[in-house]
Structure 1
Amino acid sequence: MNPLLRSVMRLFAAPRLNMREDYARVRRLQRQLAARPVPRYRAVDLRIDTGDGEREVPVRVFSPREQRREEVLLFLHGGGWVTGDIESYTPACATMADLTGCVVASVDYRLAPEHPFPAGLEDCWRIIRAILEAPWRLGAESAARIVLVGDSAGGNLAAASCLLLHERGLPMPQRQILLYPVTHWDHDPRTTPFLSARRHGADYRLTSTEVEDYLELYVPDPALRRDPLVSPLMASDLDGQPRTLLITAELDLLCDEGEAYGRALRDAGTEVRIHRVEGALHGFITLPRFARSLREAYEVIDEFLDAPLPDGGTP
Structure 2
Amino acid sequence: MPMNPVVQAVIKAITLVQPDVASSWDAQRKVEDAAGKLTIADPRCRIDEITATADDGYEIPLRVFTPLDIDFSLKAGLHVNEDHRGTILYMHGGGWANGDVDFYSDACMRTALKLERRVIAVDYRRSPECRFPVPLEDCYAVARALFAGEVIPDADPEHIVLMGDSAGGNLTAGVGLLARERGEFRPRTQILLYPLTYNDHSESTLFDSVRENGEDYILTRQAIVDYIELYLRTPEDFHDSRFAPLIATSLADMPRTLVITAEYDPLRDEGEAFAARLDAEGSEVACFRMTDGVHGYFLYPSVLSLVRDTYRLIAHFLDDDPIPTEGKLPWTPLLGTD
In which range does the TM-score fall when normalised by the shorter chain? over 0.9
Query: Match for residue 16 of structure 2?
Result: 14
Aligned to 1:172, the other structure's residue is in SS state: coil
Would you say the 8 A contact 2:66–2:83 is kept in 1? no
Q: Counterpart amino acid of 1:57?
A: I
Aligned length in residues: 305
In structure 2, the partner of 1:72 is: 87
Structure 2 unaligned residues grouped into runs of 5+: 70-81, 322-338
Looking at structure 2, the residues matched to 55 and 136 of structure 1 have their Cα atoms a distance apart, in angstroms, of 15
Equivalent in the alignment of 1:63: 66
Deviation of the 1:170 alpha carbon: 2.2
1:311 paired residue number? none
What residue is the counterpart of 1:197 in the other structure?
210
CA distance in 2, matches of 1:144, 1:136: 15
- Consecutive unaligned residues of structure 1, counting only runs of 5 or more, are 309-315
Q: Aligned residue for 2:30? A: 28
- Specify the alignment match of 2:332 in structure 1: none
- Match in the other structure for 2:270: 257
Residue 221 of structure 1 and its aligned partner are, at CA, apart by: 2.2
Displacement of 1:12: 1.5
Structure 1 residues 136 and 39: CA distance shift in structure 2, 3 A: closer
Mapped to 1, the partners of 2:190 and 2:233 lie a distance apart of 28
CA deviation after TM superposition for structure 1 residue 7, in Å: 2.1
1:43 to 41, 47, 50: 47
Whether contact under 8 Å (1:86, 1:108) holds in the other structure is yes
Give the letter for the 2:24 counterpart. D
The worse-fitting range, judged by mean Cα deviation, of 280-289 and 112-121 is 280-289
Report the TM-score when normalising by structure 1.
0.92
Paired residue type of 1:96: T
Q: Which residue of 1 aligns with 2:200?
A: 186
Partner of 2:187: 173
Write the deviation string for residues 122-157 of structure 1: whole angstroms up to 9, x where unpaired: 1011111111111671642x2111100010000000
Query: Which deviations, in whole Å up to 9, do the C-alpha atoms of 1:189-242 show, x marking residues without a partner?
Result: x21111111100001221111110000000142332121111110001112210
| Superposition deviation, residue 53 in structure 1 | 5.9
Q: CA deviation at 1:37?
A: 4.7
Counterpart check, 1:91 vs 2:95: no
TM-score when scaled to structure 2?
Answer: 0.86
CA distance in 2, matches of 1:259, 1:21: 31
CA distance in 2, matches of 1:215, 1:266: 27
Compare the two structures and name the one with the higher strand fraction: 2
Matched, 1:283 2:277: no
Q: Secondary structure at the match of 1:274?
A: strand
- RMSD of aligned residue pairs (Cα, Å): 1.7
What is the identity percentage for the equivalent residue pairs of Structure 1 and Structure 2?
A: 38
Partner of 2:260: helix, strand, or coil?
A: strand
TM superposition outliers: structure 1 runs of 4+ over 6 Å: none
Structure 2 vs 1, CA of residues 69 and 186 (structure 1 numbering), >3 Å: closer, same or farther? same
Which secondary structure state, in structure 2, belongs to the residue aligned with residue 137 of structure 1? coil
Per the TM alignment, residue 65 of structure 1 is displaced from its structure 2 partner at its CA by 3.8
Query: Are 2:178 and 1:164 equivalent residues in the alignment?
Result: yes
Alpha-carbon contact 1:72-1:138 (below 8 Å) kept: no
Q: How far apart, CA to CA, are the structure 2 residues paired with 1:36 and 1:53?
A: 33
Q: Which of 125, 129, 134 is 2:149 aligned to?
A: 134
Pair member with larger Rg = 2
Structure that is richer in helix per residue? 1
How far does residue 46 in structure 1 lie from its aligned partner after superposition? 0.2
Q: Is the 8 A contact 2:161 2:189 kept in 1?
A: yes
Structure 1 window deviating more from structure 2 (131-140 vs 241-250): it is: 131-140
